[in-house]
Amino acid sequence: MNITAVKQSADFGERTFPILFGLQFEAFERLQKLTQLNLTTLKATFDDGQRALSSWQFGPTSVAAVADLSEQFAKRTLSYAQQVEAIDRRFQTALTQAREVLHGQYHAIWGQLAANLGQAASFGSDAAADVVRSATAATLRREASMQETVRQASAASARIGSPASEIA
């Protein structure tokens, strides 16, 4: 058994756990902010509607009151969409940073494992070690190709527009 590989794998787990935990905390914090924003916006909209209905008078001023209420609603909707977009942007930034750190650590651990495979005597022959090194290198190339595809898809998605910008 290759003890170095086991130690490196454990080290990788120790380094990634805080990152994943931090990302979950960030997601929870953003969800909490979004919930608070939703409740605040809903309460303000409800209060405005209730105030408008309680002071409703039929006559020439009622058209102006409806227009004013519509304008307030439009402003609140625009503000809400901007705040949701800001919350989403902060989470996307945290997600991107975590992805980059984890990606770097993933490549580092696989590089170390590949380097240590040549030193491991547990495979029994150099041919077996060469096969494992070749498979590891192919895995790294495939993972890099998938990363590039994801990066290109993210860039294309950003050009099209985020879901938060579609609300506005």
Q: What is the DSSP string of 16-76?
A: HHHHHHHHHHHHHHHHHHHHHHHHHHHHHHHHHHHHHHHT---STHHHHHHHHHHHHHHHH
- pLDDT per residue as tens digits for the range 105-121: 777 777 777 676 656 55
Q: Tell me the CA distances in angstroms from 101 to 50, 145, 150, one per residue in order.
A: 50, 18, 16
Domain spans of the chain, in order of start: 3-47+64-167
pLDDT in tens, 44-69: 888 887 877 776 665 566 667 777 77
| CA-atom Rg of the chain in angstroms | 27
- Of 23-32, 124-133, 141-150, the one with minimum mean pLDDT is 124-133
pTM for this one? Answer: 0.53
Indicate if the pLDDT at residue 166 is higher than 50.
Answer: no
Q: How confident is the model at residue 32 (pLDDT cuts 50, 70, 90)?
A: very high
pLDDT digits (tens, 9 = 90+) for 121-137: 554 556 666 766 777 77
pLDDT at residue 159 in the model: 64
